[in-house]
Structure formats: C-alpha cells, structure tokens
Amino acid sequence: MLKSKTFVKKTRSGGVMKIVREHYLRDDIWCGSEFCVECKQESPVLQKDACIESNLCSSTHYLIPDTNLVLHQLDILEDPLIRNVIILQTVLQEVRHRSAPVYKRMKDIIHDAEKHFYVFTNEHHRETFIEREQAESANDRNDRAIRVAAKWYSEHLKRAPQAEELQIVLLTNDRGNKEKADESGLVVYKCEEYIKSLTANPELVDRLALTSDDQNEITSSKILFPEHLPLSRIQAGIKSSTLLQGIFRASRDNYLEATVFVHGEGDESTEVLIQGLQNLNRAVYQDVVAVELLPRNQWVAPSSVVLQDEGPKDEDKEEESENMLKCEVSEAMLKPTGKVVGIIKRNWRPFCGMLFKSQIKEATRHLFTPADRRIPRIRIETRQAAALEGQRIMVAIDGWPKHSRYPNGHFVRNLGSAGDKETETEVLLLEHDVPHQAFSQAVLSFLPKMPWAITEEDMKKREDLRHLCVCSVDPPGCTDIDDTLHCQDLDNGNLEVGVHIADVSHFIRPGNALDQEAASRGTTVYLCERRIDMVPELLSSNLCSLRSNVERFAFSCIWEINHNAEILSTRFTKSVINSKASLTYAEAQMRIDDAHMNDDITKSLRGLNKLAKILKKRRIEGGALTLSSPEVRFHIDSETHDPIDLQTKELKETNSMVEEFMLLANISVAQKIYDEFSECALLRKHPAPPPSNYDILNKAAKSKDIVIHTDSAKALADSLDEAKVDGFTYFNTLLRILATRCMMQAVYFCSGMDSDFHHYGLASPIYTHFTSPIRRYSDIIVHRLLAVAIGADTTYPDLMDKHKQSTLCNNLNYRHKMAQYAQRASVAFHTQLFFKSRGNLNEDGFILFVRKNAIIVLIPKFGLEGTVFFESKDKANPRLTFDEEGPTLTVENHAFHMFDKVKVTISLDASKIQHQKIRMALIEPVIPGVSVAPPEDGPEAKKAKLDR
C-alpha cells in the first residue's frame, strides 16, 4: 500500500520548498515474539519466559518505552535485568534526531542478543501507521503513534496460544501521554513506579535519572544562581554580538575560576575569564555556553591561588574563598572577563569518582566527588551508600536547578575498589574516553583467515625486497613493529636508504567494520603496563608487525642519498621484506660502538647513524626546536606487577637515528600526497604559539638575566642554545621544559580546508604521519592516498571528500589528545604506587612555577612534579607576599623565584583515597615554622580515608 508524505522545507536562500515522499505500508512486518504463530518470523527476539519479578506486573510482560524515557533513562534500559523490550521505529527516529550519543548506545543494546530488544517498524506497518491530524503537533502525533502501536501489540498477541496472561506495558514519564494511555485501556506506568516495583533488584532504583519534578523537591527554596536565558534570547544576543558563544573550560586548580574559549575566524579566537560561583552559573566543563562580557572596569586577572572545593560550606566561607581570588594587578595582566548567562549545549557524560557519605543517619542523599577536579560534586540519591563507600563508581548528571549548590544526578554503576590497579586503570580509560572494549565479532570477521601466507599473486603486485639487509630498532618489549630501515652502498658511490613501513592498509579495507573501529579508536594507547590496540592483535603483533626472519608486506620509501645527506631521488613502492634483526635502541647502539662488529646489519646501522647526524644538524640549523620533557620509565616487579624503580628515560644516539629517518619519510610522503591531491591530503601542522604564550618563559629567563628571542622558531632555538648560567648546568634543560609548555598542540588537518601547513617545531613547510600505521589511523589514510598516487591501489569517495577528511581529523586530534592525557594519568598512578612502597624520600629539585600560596617543584631524578603549599588548615599560616611581575613568592623573609634550587621530602599523601597525591614539604632553604626537618627515609604513607 502506497501513501505519500508531504512537508515543507526552508532552503538556504530563504525560500520554501514542498517535498513529497512516497511512504510504503506493508503487511509483512512481524511482531518479533516467540508466542506468535501468525507472523512468519524465522528467529523471534522477544521471549516466552519474559518475566521480571514485579509487584505491579506479576505475569509475563514486554515493555514499550516512549522517546523521553529512552533519552533520559538509558542507564535503566542498559541494566542486564531489563530485557524483552519493544523499541518502536517512531522512538528510534526521534532519539536519532535528538541525541547522537544516546542513539549509538541504544543501537548497541539492540545488537546485544542477550538483551532481547526488538525494533518494530511501526511507521511502515499497515495497522500501526497513523497520519498527523490537523492542528496536532509532531510531538503529540508521535505520542499517539506509540499508543497505537502498544494497543496493536496487546490485541495482536492476545490471539497467540499460551499468551493469555502476557501484558504489554507502556513506560512513560509524560503525564498527558499516561492519561491518554489509561483512557485507551493500556497498561501504563511511570518509569520510577515500575522500577520501584521490581522486588528482586531494589538497587536499580539508584540508576533512575531525576525528572524535573524530583529535582525541584530536593532543592532549597533560596535562589543561588541567576536564571539561564532562553535559547531564543541567546540566539538573538549572539546575532547582535551582545553575547559570545564558546566552550566552558573549568580550572583544575581553582573551582571558582574558568575560561570560555570563543572560536573566531583565523587568529581571532579569544578566551573570556569567568570568576566566582554566580558568574560560573552552573556551567560544567566542556558545555557550550553563552557569555556576556562585563564592563572593562570589572575585568580581572587569572588568579594564582590554588583552591579545591572541600564540600558544602556556609555563605561566609564561600565569600572568603571568592575574596582570595582578588588581588592588585597591573593593567596589562587584566583579561576579558564575563559571566555565563545561558547554556547552549550540555556535554555531560557519566563521571567516575567516589561517594562522600552523608553524616545524617539513614540519609539517602549523598555527595559524589568526581575524579576529575574540573567537574563539580554531584548530589545523588542511593540506598546503598554503605556498600559504595571506598568504591569507585560512575554517576550521571540529570540537571542543575538554580536553587541547588550542586547538580543532581544518579548512580550508574560500581567499578570496583578504589586503589585497586584494575579499577584505577578502568577509571582512567573511562575518564579519558579511551575505547577499550574487546573487538566485536563484526570487526574480527574482517581479519585474514589463518594460516596466512604471501601468494604468487601478491608477489606480482609488489617489489621483492627480501634480499635487503633490513632491520628494526625499537624500545624493549615492542611487539607492534611499524618500521624497519636499511642502508647500502651503490655502485656510483652514493647510498641507498630505505624506510619500510608495515602495510596495514592492505589488511584494513575502506568502510568495513574493522576500518570503522580503527577510525573511531584513532590511536593505540600505551599505559604503563597495558596497551590498548587500535587494531586486533592478529594484525598489530603478528601479520602487520615487521618482526625479524618472517616475510611481511611493507610500503617502502627509498632514497638515493650522497654522503652529505643530500637527497638525489625518492621513490615509493609496495614491497615484500624480510627483516634480518629486531633490535632495541641499546642493542643497536652497542653494534655501532663495537669496533669488532662488521657484519651487514652493523654496517647498515653505522651508515644510517652517520647520515642521521648530518640530517639533524641541518634541521637544527634550519630552525627546528630541541625541546625537553622529563619522561620516566618504571621497572616493574615480575610477580606483583608493582613499580620497584623509577628513572628518567635515557635517550641514545640510535633514538635520534630512527627519528631522523622517520621525519624524512614523513616529509617526503607529505610532499608527494599534496602534489597529487592538493584538496584532500591528510597533513599535520604545528601552529606557532601566540607571543603571550612565552610570557612565563621570558620571566624565567629574565630572572637569570638572560634574553629569549621568540619572534621565530630559529630565534627561539638559537636563544635556547645560548642560554647558560655558570655553575647551573640544569638551567638549560629547565628552560627547554618550560619552552615545551609554551607550545601549541600539533594537529591533523585536511589540505583543502586550511592554508597554513607549517610545522613550527620541525621548521618544515609540510609534514604528515606515514610511519606508524599499526598504532595511528592517520597513517592508514596517508598510506591509502600514497597508494592511489603511485597507482598501487584504487580510490574511494570518502578519501577524496575534504569535508569527510576534516571531520576525521577532528576525531583523530581528540583521540590523540585523550591518549596523551591517559598515558600521563597512568604514569601518575604508577608513581604513587612507587612512593607508597618507598615511604619518604628526600631529594633536590628546582622551582618550575611560583603561585600565590605555593611553589611547583620538579625533581629531575624522577622527572616528577609536585606542589609545596605554604598554607594549611591545621597550623598558623606564614606571612606570604606574592609579586605577579616576577613572579616571586616571599615566605616570611625568604623570596622564591622560578628555577631556584630547593630540597624537599617526597611522600604519598593517601589521606584522600580518590585524590591521592605526591606531597612535597620544604626541607631547604630552612625557614623557621615553614620548612620541616628531613625525615628518615621509608615510613609508610598516611593511611587512606575517604575524600571529604
């Protein structure tokens, strides 16, 4: 049966277009129930024994949730207890339009066979499709469609044998919809009503999201925050430029301060400073907000004070905290300051953290403290507070009324005991949005069938380079070997150098489930004791890994180079190689240094090393930066898997050798793919930092009477090379560490969407990533572009679509940033484990930053940063004078400057189990009443207690 749907659509030019769509109605859409004999379905989804113990529905029943219930109570629907649910097409379509993340989660539930969720295409079923009536809103029409489908199910399944007691239960929190369903004779309940009736699982009630009615009940009557403007006024304000739109970024160190990043054209992006609870106005980290700029005479400077939210306070204490933000500063330090007047888009996600149990006996409302300090505490209602103490849990925010100091939320799930290594790893992966679930069967189905071997057909399409003396040089324990190298003499006196990269794009074909999963993950994430692969292990550690003495597919970049490291010619080819050795950096270095070794591999390494030194010297002369960031390496106990030693990583010549040829390959490939595809090449750039980024570097250098020139990368590199202080050898390293902090993030971009390609740090006009396709999806795309460029593979539409490429780049940039943060969090956690077992250690350090009430100290031996606070609750505070210009902090009569040498005692402060941190206390210089006597090495860290 054919019907037509007619609707009008506004065009870009402002006109109106009438659209008529054919809409087919069918008789062969089945109900999905095992009870039914009328429907000719092969594998029904809804079970016969669909019984959940309930006081309201004692018999077998199927659930039909409406749209709002799916949007707001998804945590309930995801619970293993909730099964045999009918998801109507009307609901699914509406969810898809209103929330992409909820739609994705809903699809995952539907695909989970154990959940028995059945999608019923009611909009195409002859008996359940309804027309929209005159003067009926789209929302009302959809509600009516849901009721009609529920009625049809009730009547349809009544005719089925053994289904006399089967009930169809409609779940809705909409009062109007519930009343109309009651009038139609349907079985209908509010979600809360139904969940509270489940006798066997009372804890499921904790997962209920609060409705707006519930939220009003539990807040005070006093208005604490200004009303948010309605969206219509926000849009008008943005159009007239009286309001600005931007992303809210809460401070990690100060809960009363945030910035709003307002994106502009080109370099026009600005940051607006927000200070004080009223001005922050219930915005949460990463929300898209509307901001009103304050008059210029109300602008303030970013605060240098470190303030943590210690839980509910009375008004005087809150005011005292806000007064700490205020200090006299010069005009130049003032920043555009504003207040949040409305929320354009909430970017809430489930947050990991711990419960702060209420002191009131039998209380069900408690405060939850998120692990991420940028997220405010959340008030939740739970009856299992005693069981959840000391556990890491997940909580979702439901809303933040103007009467409430904190947002309201609900319990999602328990992750495990706080401090447990597995639990803490799970927390840091969830908090940094790292996809770490096992690869699905759909993904694994696209892997090659084992045993796998290279065929005659394969050899016809590739260059045979198995005779070359190729080897890999990697960190110890590396199993995902992306790259190998070779160097050999040519008859004409020049050298042939090759970089051979794993040909991952041969195994991962565009658009299939394996490709989509790799694109979503974006990168492999390396934690201290765990690797979360971007691609399944069969590829990452076996078929793609260029292990020694096995034949592997590669993508080769081969140069003819003279002895001055000048490139005479470059060619690219798909190849087959057989690596002759898998070496660590240390093993390769020993071969180069050992005069008695003269085999082909060692000769090749010596040739590569010699050329690499010339390439590096030339790069640095061209303005490339050599920056520094202290990296640490843990020595792990083989039995307990706890860290037993902590050292900064030592870099060898061979690290630099490999790096030089990877850079050379990346630059060569970048130029090739851009020459061939000027509109859709995937490239990587490193923007030059704005001059204000260097303020802290200039101040630090000035304190030692040194001038740093920052007008170009070359000027900065030269200044850093010349910056030396007699008797202070570590000064230059400190300066480079600080310079690293001034840098912008390097990003992927599509060449057709940008005009500035320059890589500031490498001083290269063009750059990309080609050399690590096992662990970076960007490199897979670059391989595909290069393969098309040399005629080794065919193209596909998405590869040539600059808008699709640009969207992909945004995801890759996000995934890389989160992977970096996850790695840092993993290092921090293992550092805590190390100090937990070692107790107190007394070490020399240098001041990296000076704050209003603290100094931040770097310990070179461990590459570790920590804060020495000069104010505490339990003793009289010393006299502090802070000078922003220096910056200097005078404690009693001693002035602290950046880069001053200090001696501190380091221990693990485990007094707050969730936010355990490395605690540093000053030993030298000796300041009476402030510094501490050097404690004996080794006492245990303070006993853990719950966060307060």
- Given a cut of 50, is residue 105 above it in pLDDT? yes
Can you name the residues that pair with 764 across neighbouring β-strands? Answer: 759
**What's the mean pLDDT when you consider all of the chain?**
86
% of the chain residues with pLDDT over 70? 89
Tell me if 715 is assigned to some domain.
no
Mean pLDDT within 773-778: 95
> Is 451 found in the same domain as 425?
no
Lowest mean pLDDT among 103-107, 555-559, 771-775: 103-107
State the pLDDT confidence band at 328, using cuts at 50, 70 and 90: low
Looking at residue 337, what is its pLDDT?
92
The encoded tokens of residue 737 equal 């560490």
% of the chain residues with pLDDT over 90? 46
Mean pLDDT within 494-504: 95
Looking at residue 885, what is its pLDDT?
77
> Is 811 found in the same domain as 787?
yes
- Which letter, b or e, does each residue of 760-782 get, where b requires 16 or more Cβ atoms within 10 Å of its Cβ? bbbbbebbbbbbbbbbbbbbbbb
Tell me if 144 is assigned to some domain.
yes
> Is 377 found in the same domain as 457?
no
> Is 330 found in the same domain as 415?
no
pLDDT digits 0-9 by tens, 260-275: 998 876 556 788 999 9
- Given a cut of 70, is residue 648 above it in pLDDT? no
Rg (CA), the chain: 32
Q: How far apart are CA 780 and CA 760, in angstroms?
A: 24
Mean pLDDT within 445-468: 92
- pTM of the full predicted structure? 0.80
- Given a cut of 70, is residue 258 above it in pLDDT? yes
Tell me if 808 is assigned to some domain.
yes
Tell me if 593 is assigned to some domain.
yes
Between β-strands 167-171 and 187-189, what pairing exists: parallel, antiparallel or unpaired? parallel
pLDDT digits 0-9 by tens, 815-843: 999 999 999 888 888 888 888 777 788 88
Mean pLDDT within 123-147: 90
Looking at residue 283, what is its pLDDT?
94
- Given a cut of 50, is residue 940 above it in pLDDT? no
Residue type, 565: A
pLDDT digits 0-9 by tens, 520-574: 999 999 998 889 999 999 999 999 999 999 999 999 999 999 999 999 999 999 9
> Is 74 found in the same domain as 199?
yes
> Is 595 found in the same domain as 581?
yes
Mean pLDDT within 443-454: 92
Task: Give start and end residues of each alpha helix (H) in 73-164.
Answer: 74-78, 89-98, 100-111, 138-158
Peptide bond into 476 cis (omega under 30): no
The encoded tokens of residue 256 equal 């009363």
Looking at residue 213, what is its pLDDT?
54
> Is 787 found in the same domain as 936?
no
> What is the number of domains present in the chain?
5
Q: How far apart are CA 258 and CA 285, in angstroms?
A: 9
Looking at residue 914, what is its pLDDT?
67
Can you name the residues that pair with 721 across neighbouring β-strands? Answer: none
Give the 3-state DSSP-derived string for 73-85, with helices as H, strands as E and coil as C.
CHHHHHCCCCCCE
Residue where a domain stops, chosen among 300, 328, 345: 345
State the pLDDT confidence band at 3, using cuts at 50, 70 and 90: low
Q: Is-contact 432 374, C-beta < 8 A?
A: no
Looking at residue 620, what is its pLDDT?
87
> Is 355 found in the same domain as 341?
no
> Domain holding 938: CATH number?
2.40.50.140
Can you name the residues that pair with 263 across neighbouring β-strands? Answer: none
Tell me if 171 is assigned to some domain.
yes
Q: How far apart are CA 572 and CA 499, in angstroms?
A: 10
- Given a cut of 80, is residue 19 above it in pLDDT? no
> Domain holding 130: CATH number?
3.40.50.1010
Residue where a domain stops, chosen among 393, 410, 431: 431
Looking at residue 50, what is its pLDDT?
79
Nearest to 228 by CA among 239, 237, 240, 220: 237
- Given a cut of 50, is residue 939 above it in pLDDT? no
CB burial class (10 A; 0-12, 13-18, 19+) of residue 620?
middle
Tell me if 112 is assigned to some domain.
yes
- Given a cut of 50, is residue 70 above it in pLDDT? yes
- Which letter, b or e, does each residue of 147-164 get, where b requires 16 or more Cβ atoms within 10 Å of its Cβ? bbbbbbbbebbeebeebe
Mean pLDDT within 247-251: 92
Residue where a domain stops, chosen among 156, 173, 208: 208
pLDDT digits 0-9 by tens, 874-918: 677 888 888 877 788 888 888 898 888 899 988 887 766 666 778
> Is 499 found in the same domain as 533?
yes
- Given a cut of 90, is residue 805 above it in pLDDT? yes
Q: Is-contact 715 753, C-beta < 8 A?
A: no
Tell me if 714 is assigned to some domain.
no
> Is 625 found in the same domain as 507?
yes
- Given a cut of 90, is residue 54 above it in pLDDT? no
Looking at residue 650, what is its pLDDT?
62
Domain that holds residue 609: 441-678+768-818
Show the beta-strand stretches assigned E in 564-668. 567-578, 581-584, 632-636, 643-648
More confident residue, 922 or 311: 922
Tell me if 712 is assigned to some domain.
no
Looking at residue 22, what is its pLDDT?
77
> Is 510 found in the same domain as 643?
yes
> Is 455 found in the same domain as 384?
no
CB burial class (10 A; 0-12, 13-18, 19+) of residue 894?
middle
Lowest mean pLDDT among 437-441, 623-627, 815-819, 940-944: 940-944
pLDDT digits 0-9 by tens, 699-754: 888 878 888 888 888 888 888 888 888 878 788 888 888 888 888 889 999 999 98
> Domain holding 360: CATH number?
2.40.50.700
Looking at residue 352, what is its pLDDT?
92
